Amino acid sequence: MKDVYILAIESSCDETSMAIVKNGTECVHLTVLTQMDTHANFGGVVPEIASRMHTENVTMVLEETLTKANMTMDQIDAVAVTYSPGLMGSLIVGVECAKTIAYVCNKPLIAVNHIAGHIYANNLEKKMEFPLLALVVSGGHTDLILMKGDYEFEHLGGTLDDAIGECYDKVARVLGLPYPGGPNVEKMALEGKHSYDLPIPMNDDSFNMSYSGLKSSIINLVHNEQQRGNEINKPDLARSFQDVAVDELVRKSELAIKKYNVKRMIIAGGVSANKFLRGQIKEMTDRNGVELSVPSFIYCTDNAAMIGAAAYPLYVKGEFASYDLNANSCEELY
Ligand code: KG4
Ligand code: ZN
């Protein structure tokens, strides 16, 4: 089969990103224009501002991606885009942009689920072999998935309330750390020790998790101490939180590995950029003789290369979207 080049677009949250991906495994060029500094002024993503900024930036990001890849649209085989889940206004900009390019240049269109994108980011490191256990940890998802083949997602369990990324961001807020919270909590935790006694997210043997209790206990602890005029040891609290939050992911992943006897595991989503999580999961997989694969840091958080990687199996199967594709804020993958 001849080489397949996919132009991919990702705009589901606050990154305007495009990439050209070869055969689903090799990123020719990735452009990520982040709006982080703008949203940091508000302590989180403001949807209306995000979609307006995507609109202003898509043309520039497209030009830059083709120029840096030294390619023209004639060499592109298909256009892929994130259509769900995400912020509606942000998704619409990417979807309309992809539809326009595909229609004008007469290319097939591929609709990609954002979470499939996070999972397939792993193919940019090393092609996934099945069966495998996928741990998806992002701002909106915390799930354990069993994959027996391409696009075969069996949902084993996940958070019943808040996602772990959301929890990191909330803890950052109460600790007075700037947006985006996750990386800042990770950094602060390095300076602390585990001295706060916090509730375990879900102390059972199911594959479900719950992070809202942990989040609330930290918010309450900080408020109570502030009201009493007591100092909070912020690095210690960050460390105690991270230990408990990550330990739950490791414990539940290990249960799934044992129950389904899988020999391979991957991590996906923004929180997979966390070095402590990567280290703890690696220790557990080594202990169980399981091969672990994690995306490079640039492919962990939102980017279009992962969308190009996830689009490739759909291209091979001929699963194309029609030119009247719509964005969908909450279509789940599993
Ligand atoms: O996958 P992602 O970029 O966007 C979503 O699809 O949600 O994930 C964003 C989430 C945010 O909650 C962010 O704080 C978290 O991933 N995150 C981290 C780290 N880097 C990003 N959380 C903990 N440690 C990190 N190093
Ligand atoms: Zn994401």
Output the CA torsion sign for 298, 302, 308, 309.
Answer: positive
85 lines ligand 1 (CB under 6 A): no
Q: By alpha-carbon position, which residue is closest to atom 16 of ligand 1?
A: 270
The pLDDT, as a whole number, for residue 243 is 98
Q: Which atom of ligand 1 is nearest to the CA of 274?
A: 26
For residue 277, which ligand has an atom nearest its CA? Answer: 1
Is the CB of residue 157 less than 8 Å from the CB of residue 252?
A: yes
Q: Which atom of ligand 1 is nearest to the CA of 164?
A: 12
For residue 270, which ligand has an atom nearest its CA? Answer: 1
Tell me which residues have their CB within 5 A of the ion that is ligand 2. 138, 302
The pLDDT, as a whole number, for residue 61 is 98
Q: Domains (ranges, CATH) in the chain?
A: 5-120+299-317 (3.30.420.40), 129-294 (3.30.420.40)
Is the CB of residue 17 less than 8 Å from the CB of residue 301?
A: no
Q: Which residues, at least 6 apart from 217, have a Cβ–Cβ distance to it below 8 Å?
A: 198, 199
The pLDDT, as a whole number, for residue 240 is 98
The pLDDT, as a whole number, for residue 237 is 98
Q: pLDDT tens string for the chain (334 positions)?
A: 799 999 999 999 999 999 999 999 999 999 999 999 999 999 899 999 999 999 999 999 999 999 999 999 999 999 999 999 999 999 999 999 999 999 999 999 999 999 999 999 999 999 999 999 999 999 999 999 999 999 999 999 999 999 999 999 999 999 999 988 999 999 999 999 999 999 988 889 999 999 999 999 999 999 999 999 999 999 999 999 999 999 999 999 999 999 999 999 999 999 999 999 999 999 999 999 999 999 999 999 999 999 999 999 999 999 999 999 999 999 989 8
- Separation of first and last alpha carbons in the chain: 30
pTM: 0.97
